[in-house]
Structure 1
Amino acid sequence: MRSRTRTRRGAAVTAAAVLLAGAGLGTWATDTWPFGAKDHYCWGAWEQDSGPDLLGEEGFEGEDGRSRTTEESAPTPKRPEGQCTLTLKSSRTAYDGGTSRQRNTVKVTYGTAPRDAAQRLEWLTDYLGDRAMPLPDGLPGAVDGTHGMLVLPKRCDSEDGRPTAVTLDTTNDSSDSYTGGSVHLGGADAAAELLVSVANKGMEQAGCAAGKPLRSPSALPSLAEDEEDFFSEGDAACRIKGMNLTGDFDKATSMRLEYQVGAVTRDVQSCSARIGRSVTRRLPEERIFDALMVRAPRLAALLDGTTGHKALARGWRGTGVSDYDYEIARAECAGRPTTFLLIGGGRDSTRYLAAFTNSVAQRLGCAPVAPEGADR
C-alpha cells in the first residue's frame, strides 16, 4: 500500500479561520480541522508538532511556500519491507531579491541488511561509525543528529535468518550552499525518538510486534571531541598505538590527516581516519579507513556469515576474511564473540586492523587477537 500525505497550508486555512471565528465556533478546543487536526507521517508513527524539530515549525528554513509531504509504502506480514520519505519544502527571499529554496528529505527503511558481505559491512559502518553513539537502555542500534539504525527483535528476522533493521537517513538539497548536506533532526535525542517510534509502527504493520513497544531511550551520551589532527610524528589515529599514519603519506598530505574517535563502550568502538579536504587546493576529503568493533548480540548478528571459517592470517585467533575492500575478524573476547572490522586501509589494512583489534582487546580485558608484531 502506497500513500501520500500533505500538510495543509495557505489561504484556505486563513479563510476558514475567519469564518469560524466570526461564527463563534470553538474550534481551538476541539479536534476539528483546521486547528485541532494533526497530520501523521510514516505509517502513522509521527505526528505533526509532536516534539522533534523535524515535525514542527522549526523544521522549515524559510517562511514561504511551506509544505511537508510523505510518500510511503508500509511493511506487511507477507512483505516485511517498507519505506517512507518525508520531504520538507520552503523558501525565503534574500535582501538582494534572490530566493533560496529548502528541500530536506528524511528516508526511513524497514528491511533486512544487504545480502552481499562487502555492501553489508559498508552499510553497518555507515550507521555505527564516525560520530554515531550506541543507543542506551539495551536498544541495539546507534544514532547521531542526522541518521540512525535500530535492529529489531529476533521475532522480526527474515526467513533466511537475517535480522531486520529500521534505518533513518537525511538529505539536504537546499539551493543555499550554506545549508547543504544532511538534515539536522533536532539533535541525536530527537533522532532516537523518531527512530524508535517508527520502528514500533513498522513492527506493528509487519505483524511482529509483541508485548510492550520499544521505549525511546534516555538521554544519549555525547562524544568527547570533534575530529582531531595529527600534530606530531608520535600521534596515532584515535590515540591507538600502532595506528600512526604520518609515515604513510607525504608531508603535504600528512598536514591534512584527521581522525574521529567514535563510540568507546564495551559493546561498540569505532575510529575513522581521513585526509581532510583542502579548500585552497580544491581537494575533497578522502577516506583512509573506518575501524569498528561490535559485541552487542543483535548488532553482531548483522555480521553473521561474513567472517569465514578459518583464521584471518597465521597467528590470528578466531576466524576472519581478508578482502580487497575490507578486513574482518571474529574471536571470543571477555566471554562473548567479538567482531573487528576495518574498511579501507589499502596495503596497510591488516596492520591497522591488528593495532585496533589488540588495543580494543586489551581494554576489554581479553587476550590479543592479532599475533605479536602484526601491528608493525
Structure 2
Amino acid sequence: MMRVLVLANFGMGLFNFRKELLEELIRQGHEVYVSLPNDEYVPKLKELGCKYVETRVDRRGTNPINDMKLLYHYIKLIKSTIPDVVLTYTIKPNIYGGIACGITKTPYLTNVTGLGTAIENSGLIQKITLRLYRMGLRNSSCVFFQNEYNRSFFVENNIAKGKTRLIPGSGVNLEHHNFKDYPTNDKNIRFLFIGRIMKAKGIEELFQAAKKIKGIYPNVEFHLVGGSEEDYTKQLAELEQTGIIKYHGHQSDVHSFIKVSHGTILPSYHEGTANVLLETAATGRPILASKVPGCIETFNPEITGLGFEARSVPSLVEAIRNFIKLPYPQKKLMGIKGRKKMEEEYDRKIVINAYLQEIGKFTNEEI
C-alpha cells in the first residue's frame, strides 16, 4: 500500500476532473490525502475515501508572505504525512508543493493544467513566476502537460528539464457525459458558455458578440453557467435584464445544461485543455472555440466545431453567424462526430493509466 498526497487549489476541479483517479487509487488499497481549501466539494472527496487536510491557497494573490506560509505548510504536511508520492495540480501547488517535495526529498508528479495569466502576460510577474516554476519542477519525477504548446514552452525555456508526458487534458468521463440526442429543431438556438466569469475566458468579447447577434437573430439564446471570478455583477445584471443573456451562476451539474443546448461557446485566451469543450463534445454538441492551444485540439474545424480568433469580437460574431446558418442535419452531425473524437482521443481512462504507470514506478511495478 502506498500513501499518496494530492495538492490542489480548489475542490471543484479535483472532484469533477480527477475523481476517477482518486477512486482507482483508493480501490487499489492506497491511502489518499487531499490538501486544498475548504469548500462544498470537500465532503464529496471525503465520501470517496480521501483524508482531508485543510490548506489555504490564495489562488490569484501575489502576496509573498502568504506564499511563504503556503510553502511552510506544505513542508510540515509532507513531514507529518510522509507520503510515498505527491501529486500536484495548478500553479501554486506545482511551485510551492514542488519546492517542499525537493526540500523533504519526496517523489512527486506535476500536472501543468495551463500557463495561466501570470505566465501569458509578459512583465515582472511572469519573470518571477517562471523562476519559481523552475524551482518547483526541478526534482519532479514527471511533468504532465495538457497540450504540446505548453510543453514546448516549458522545455524551450528550461523550466521542465526532466521527463515530460503529454496527456489529453483531464480526459472526459464518457459514462457521465453520455451522448444525448440533438435538440429536435434549431429554430430557437441555445448557445452555452460554461466557465469562470473573467476576462481571460473571453467574457467581454462574448458580451459584445451576444448583443450583436441578438440584434440580428432575436430568437437566439445565450446561457452562461459559472461563478463570477471577477466583478462583472453589474454587466451580468444589465445584460440579463435586457434579455441578451441568461445567467445561471455556478452549477454543480453542467451536463443538464449541455444536453439542452445546440452548442458551446468558449472565447478563452488560453487553456491547458478546456474540460467544458470535452464535456460538450462527449454529449454530442458542437464546439465554437477560440483558436488557442488547449481549445484547438478539442475539435476538428468544420467537422466537429468552428474556430475563431481570440480577443476578436468580429471573428466571434462571424463564427456564431456561420453556425446559425448551418443546416440542421450538419449541426447534428457535428455533435455525433465530436462524440466519436472524444471516444478515440479523450477518454479519461487514458489519463488515469498514465498516472498509474508513473506512480507504479515508485513501487517498482505498475499499479
With the length of structure 1 as denominator, give the TM-score of the two structures. Answer: 0.25
Q: Please tell me whether Structure 1 or Structure 2 has the larger radius of gyration of its CA atoms.
A: 1
Select the structure with the greater relative contact order (CA < 8 A; seq sep ≥ 6).
Answer: 2
* Greater fraction of residues in helix: 2
Q: Return the structure number with greater strand share.
A: 1
